[in-house]
């Protein structure tokens, strides 16, 4: 009887023995390395919220990066949030390469996602390249740091270092990309061997980056795609401390991750009407004469509290667009016009304001869509109006889109502003831009 009791107790004690940290790390690494080649081409929708902060009291002499890090760690200064903006993107990941488009675009452009985002802090890597560079890299050195609490349980935490000679982490330094060494921590579930948390930290950056420290913090989970369960990010945070004492805080959430099918298309509205082809619609849009006025009204409100650059907006044509001479109807009243927000900024320090920029993209009737090239109607800017605009802040649209973009500045101290349903805007058709 006692022997049986002793065996039972011994069995319980053996079952509760913590897993060996080395075996846990090895199991997690093997799973990540094995699954990476199996990961299909996939897309995720990213919502990127960027916050820009600066010291409440600017120092007379900018501190060195070493001084800035020491002062930051000791909380010797406060920060003021002075600007926020928001982006919404679809990102396709293929063999570790990230290609972006605005959310809901019909297709992905084969260009760098940084070209799409333009100016402003932005980072990639959370969708896969960090994992392969850390775990499938003989140059990475690991050390066990102990356990950390997480969601009612615990994770095994490991520190790691990737030296410059083994690193594929690139930063934009001037006009060039340069590799940098980095370090950080990973948190692994000792029961499932799943990676749950990743921190990537770099503080030896090229002088041209004007950055002292860059930290990326990512939460991971297993996500079901068509071919099985794969490790994908849920949320990431990128923090940048600059040499000018400014700090950037970029939070990205990932949603609607799915396998990407190259033959798939994205449709806006109903199916094309019988007997009408997309080719015909495209030709119709391209042949719209320049100089025709278009009066539009928002079909749905734009709420700056949730809207992002990249979001599609829907408007309705208030009056039929007619040819100047023949008076033929080019676009009927009631036709749907789709545009896109290309800038959504909120300036917080007085005077507070929202900077919003919109570009038109297409019009459609009965499900048949055609491109629309138009610029804001500025014919109302006579001498008196121009005089009243003196001293008023100017909202510049993103570079390269100025002619086709309408910009709005809304001065308010409120946390959000809503462009109401029915909000009108006037545009003028223009000649399609020349192909690059």
pLDDT (tens digit per residue) in 334-371: 999 999 999 999 999 888 999 999 999 999 988 888 99
Residue 432 has pLDDT above 90, yes or no: no
Are 369 and 399 a contacting pair, CB within 8 Å?
A: no
The pLDDT tens digits for 373-395 are: 999 997 764 444 444 445 556 66
Nearest C-alpha neighbor of 59 from the set 41, 71, 74, 48: 71
Residue 387, pLDDT score: 45
CA 339 to chain centroid: 19
Q: Can you tell me the distance from the alpha carbon of 421 to that of 245, in angstroms, rounded to the nearest whole number?
A: 41
Pick the more confident residue, 266 or 225. 225
Q: Compute the Cα dihedral for 263, 269, 273, 277 and give only its sign.
A: negative
Q: Which residue has the tokens 């890597």?
A: 125
Average pLDDT, the chain: 82
3-state secondary structure of 291: coil
| Neighbour-count burial of 205, counting CB atoms closer than 10 A to its CB (0-12 exposed, 13-18 middle, 19+ buried) | buried
Q: Tokens 């094995």 identify what position?
A: 34
Is residue 269 scored above 50 in pLDDT? no
Q: Is the pLDDT of residue 264 over 80?
A: no
List, as one string, the DSSP characters of 390-427.
Answer: TTPPP-PPPTT-GGGEEEEEEE-SSS--EEPTT-EEEE
pLDDT digits (tens, 9 = 90+) for 393-421: 666 666 656 678 999 999 999 999 999 99
What are the two backbone dihedrals, phi and then psi, of residue 7, each rounded to the nearest 5 degrees?
-65, -40
93: burial class by Cβ within 10 Å (0-12, 13-18, 19+)?
buried
Tokens representing 74?
């000791």
What domains, with CATH codes, occur in the chain? Answer: 18-56+67-259 (2.50.20), 278-429 (2.40.128)
pLDDT single digits (tens) 83-99: 999 999 988 877 667 77
Residue 19 tokens, joined: 């897993």
Beta bridge partners of 317: 296
Q: Which position has the higher pLDDT, 319 or 100?
A: 319
Give the Cα separation of 128 and 335 in Å (integer): 43
Whether the predicted pLDDT of 77 surpasses 80: yes
Query: Alpha-carbon distance 41 to 125, whole Å?
Result: 15
Q: Mean pLDDT over residues 48-76, rounded? A: 87
**Helices and strands of the chain, counted as H and E runs:** 7, 24
Distances in Å between the Cα of 284 and the Cα atoms of 25, 280, 370 are: 60, 6, 7
Assign 251 a pLDDT band (cuts: 50, 70, 90): very high
Q: Tell me if 100 sits within 8 A of 115, measured CB to CB.
A: no
pLDDT, tens digit, for every residue of 17-52? 778 999 999 999 999 998 877 777 788 899 999 999
pLDDT tens, residue by residue, 101-125: 888 877 776 666 666 676 777 777 7
pLDDT value, residue 111: 60
Q: Distance between CA atoms of 8 and 33, rounded to whole angstroms?
A: 39
Q: Mean pLDDT across the stretch 262-282?
A: 35
């Amino acid at each position: 009887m006692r022997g049986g009791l002793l065996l039972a107790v011994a069995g319980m004690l053996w079952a509760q023995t913590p897993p060996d940290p080395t075996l846990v790390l090895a199991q997690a690494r093997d799973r990540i390395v094995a699954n990476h080649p199996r990961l299909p081409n996939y897309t995720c929708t990213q919502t990127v919220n960027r916050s820009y902060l600066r010291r409440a009291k600017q120092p007379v002499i900018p501190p060195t990066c070493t001084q800035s890090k020491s002062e930051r760690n000791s909380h010797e200064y406060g920060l003021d949030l002075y600007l926020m903006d928001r982006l919404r993107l679809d990102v396709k990941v293929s063999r570790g390469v990230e290609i972006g488009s605005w959310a809901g675009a019909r297709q992905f452009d084969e260009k760098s996602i940084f070209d799409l985002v333009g100016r402003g802090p932005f980072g990639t890597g959370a969708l896969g390249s960090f994992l392969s560079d850390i775990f499938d890299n003989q140059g990475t050195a690991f050390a066990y740091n102990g356990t950390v609490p997480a969601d009612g349980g615990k994770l095994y935490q490991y520190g790691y270092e990737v030296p410059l000679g083994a690193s594929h982490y690139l930063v934009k330094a001037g006009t060039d990309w340069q590799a940098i060494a980095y370090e950080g921590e990973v948190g692994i579930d000792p029961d499932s061997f799943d990676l749950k948390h990743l921190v990537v930290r770099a503080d030896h950056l090229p002088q041209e980056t004007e950055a002292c420290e860059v930290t990326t913090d990512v939460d991971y989970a297993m996500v079901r795609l068509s071919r099985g369960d794969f490790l994908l990010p849920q949320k990431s945070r990128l923090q940048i401390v600059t040499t000018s004492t400014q700090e950037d805080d970029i939070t990205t959430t990932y949603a609607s991750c799915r396998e990407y099918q190259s033959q798939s298309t994205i449709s806006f509205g109903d199916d094309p009407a019988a007997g009408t082809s997309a080719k015909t619609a495209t030709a119709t849009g391209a042949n719209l004469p320049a100089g025709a006025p278009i009066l539009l009204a928002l079909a749905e409100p734009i709420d700056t509290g949730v809207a992002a650059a990249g979001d599609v907006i829907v408007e309705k044509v208030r009056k039929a667009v007619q040819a100047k001479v023949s008076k033929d109807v080019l676009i009927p009243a009631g036709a749907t016009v789709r545009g896109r927000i290309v800038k959504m900024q909120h300036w917080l320090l007085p005077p507070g304001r929202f900077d919003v920029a919109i570009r038109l993209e297409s019009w459609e009737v009965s499900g048949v869509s055609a491109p629309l090239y138009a610029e804001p109607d500025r014919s109302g800017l006579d001498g008196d109006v121009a005089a009243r605009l003196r001293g008023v802040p100017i909202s510049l649209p993103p570079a390269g889109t100025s002619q086709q973009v309408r910009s709005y500045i809304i001065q308010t101290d409120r946390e959000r502003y809503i462009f109401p349903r029915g909000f009108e805007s006037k545009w003028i058709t223009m000649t399609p831009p020349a192909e690059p």
